[in-house]
Chain A
């Protein structure tokens, strides 16, 4: 877990990229992680089925906010269908290694919200850890 709080995670936490709102988003979704109280909203601008622009907003732990921030940098130009099929690996690659099972939801919240926005319905958690019960 120490390894997790790398310089670039803190950088994304304190200076989130693509943070804020779009004037007229074509798709959006928001959700929360009851464990940490993390909240994330994703807004997408879509042209011809592809993401033209993205903004996220929210608050929460460094892991949730940094992984959402990094995610927004990786999806511009991607097709909505592809986004809806993204696996958790994209997040794990973004953030590096060392997330404990209980913190996995923090890391995956941004992806869950992004997929929900792409699908137009609430996506399931992109992982199958057992810590899914609300507290």
Chain B
């Protein structure tokens, strides 16, 4: 198979990311295939941060002077943009957090401690990132609720045969939209209605879906949706939680402090309205503004295009990987191109993924190796670790070729035939 060179749109996108023009210490082009860990940032996002800090840096929601008003407006505009990006009905339902992990913890602490009691159950899946697993283990421990798992098969696809049984007594279902280890796209269209039918609410961990595909929280009918800015072209330290207003209204604040209050006396406090009730203290103003710029950038490209681009890259990568199958390259995860997003997990003969990643690094190819924060999944599958390449909107078929060349090099270093 021959790589198609990047078309004009892709070339323009690549040029938007200054880091992609940099050379590695060995003088190689940077082939960044670890966007599932964090994405690179386009210049417009970097500029938005610089512009805030150099032109209108001020705290928000309080100052009445010009730059404070400008900062407040930019912050709240960013909220509206992110809300629109996932088609949330109202901006007030969009809470800024540090990222997906904090968003999930907000729900587990606030909603979870208020609503769960012994005998209740929480349902998640065997695919989850530690961020969407450990908080539920902790919550189950604290409330006496039971934690259950939707199993996955050997390809990492959800097994729904026993879903009704699993859902009995469940108050909360928490699952990732896209798996960061295997790229599996969860059958939310099946699971969410069935969860609602038994009166459970559903939290969708969208850390890997929001960057890579169009997301419509209303069409999904998700009760909560969590994601991280840094995986979707935005800065680190900013993310969001969407929650249905009716739920958020009834939930107690997660953190207490400034900004989340309406009136404070020595006797007590009236909490602020949504979304500020959940945003105690000075938030990540620059981060939110940067995330707003990232969302503008993504929408300018069109998320349908992003998904189609990644799908076509995945097809090309799967085809190229097949060429090495006889030499011991094993690809994990779903084989149905419509059920897998941006991630390919694999192993190459007896080469440990970390050795593979180190050898690829000498060629400028950045991939991830390890358990990808899904230790129970790795153990279930019997893989001590996997190598993971993840693709994003700035990757090209030429990047896939560079990965293949790196694998050839690893084969020669390790004397694989």
Contacts of B354 in A (CB 8 A): 35-36, 60-61, 63, 103, 106
Within 8 Å by CB of B358, from A34, A59, A103, lies A103
Chain A CB within 8 A of B384 CB: yes
A10 touches B415 (CB 8 A): yes
Complex-state Cα separation, A135 to B354, whole angstroms: 14
Within 8 Å by CB of A5, from B350, B359, B384, lies B359
Contacts of A129 in B (CB 8 A): none
Contacts of B353 in A (CB 8 A): 36, 61
A2 touches B359 (CB 8 A): yes
Given A37-B384, A61-B354, A135-B370; 18 other pairs, CB 8 A cutoff? A1-B359, A1-B362, A2-B359, A2-B413, A4-B358, A5-B413, A5-B414, A10-B413, A10-B414, A14-B350, A35-B370, A36-B352, A36-B370, A37-B378, A61-B353, A61-B355, A62-B355, A135-B373
What are 26 A-to-B residue pairs whose CB atoms are below 8 Å? A1-B359, A1-B361, A1-B362, A5-B355, A5-B359, A5-B413, A10-B413, A10-B414, A14-B350, A35-B370, A36-B353, A36-B354, A36-B370, A37-B371, A37-B384, A37-B385, A39-B384, A60-B352, A61-B355, A62-B351, A62-B352, A100-B361, A103-B358, A106-B354, A135-B370, A135-B373
Complex-state Cα separation, A37 to B362, whole angstroms: 22
Looking across the interface, which residue of chain A has its beta carbon closest to that of B415?
Answer: A10
Complex-state Cα separation, A61 to B355, whole angstroms: 6
Q: Which residues of A contact B (CB under 8 A)?
A: 1-2, 4-5, 10, 14, 34-37, 39, 59-63, 100, 103, 106, 135
Chain A CB within 8 A of B369 CB: yes
Contacts of A103 in B (CB 8 A): 354, 358
Q: Which size bracket describes the interface of B in this complex?
A: 20 to 34
Looking across the interface, which residue of chain A has its beta carbon closest to that of B409?
Answer: A2
B384 touches A60 (CB 8 A): yes
Give the distance to chain B from A41, nearest Cβ to Cβ, in Å.
15
Looking across the interface, which residue of chain A has its beta carbon closest to that of B361?
Answer: A1
Supposing A5-B414, A106-B354, A135-B373 touch, asked if A36 and B359 sit within 8 A by C-beta, the answer is: no
Contacts of A37 in B (CB 8 A): 370-371, 378, 384-385
Looking across the interface, which residue of chain A has its beta carbon closest to that of B414?
Answer: A10
Contacts of A59 in B (CB 8 A): 384
Contacts of B351 in A (CB 8 A): 62
Looking across the interface, which residue of chain A has its beta carbon closest to that of B386?
Answer: A37
Among A35, A59, A61, max chain B CB count under 10 A is at: A61
Contacts of B361 in A (CB 8 A): 1, 100
Give the distance to chain A from B350, nearest Cβ to Cβ, in Å.
7
* Interface residue ranges of B231-261 to A (CB < 8 Å): none
Give the distance to chain B from A61, nearest Cβ to Cβ, in Å.
4
Contacts of A135 in B (CB 8 A): 370, 373
Contacts of B369 in A (CB 8 A): 36
Complex-state Cα separation, A34 to B351, whole angstroms: 18
Give the distance to chain A from B347, nearest Cβ to Cβ, in Å.
12
Contacts of A35 in B (CB 8 A): 354, 370
Complex-state Cα separation, A14 to B414, whole angstroms: 10
Give the distance to chain B from A134, nearest Cβ to Cβ, in Å.
10
Complex-state Cα separation, A106 to B358, whole angstroms: 12
Contacts of B373 in A (CB 8 A): 135
Complex-state Cα separation, A36 to B413, whole angstroms: 20
Looking across the interface, which residue of chain B has its beta carbon closest to that of A65?
Answer: B352
Give the distance to chain B from A98, nearest Cβ to Cβ, in Å.
10
Contacts of B355 in A (CB 8 A): 5, 61-63
Complex-state Cα separation, A36 to B350, whole angstroms: 14
Looking across the interface, which residue of chain A has its beta carbon closest to that of B369?
Answer: A36
Looking across the interface, which residue of chain B has its beta carbon closest to that of A63?
Answer: B355
Complex-state Cα separation, A59 to B371, whole angstroms: 14
Contacts of A1 in B (CB 8 A): 358-359, 361-362
Complex-state Cα separation, A60 to B81, whole angstroms: 45
Contacts of A62 in B (CB 8 A): 351-352, 355
Complex-state Cα separation, A31 to B413, whole angstroms: 28
Among A37, A100, A135, max chain B CB count under 10 A is at: A37
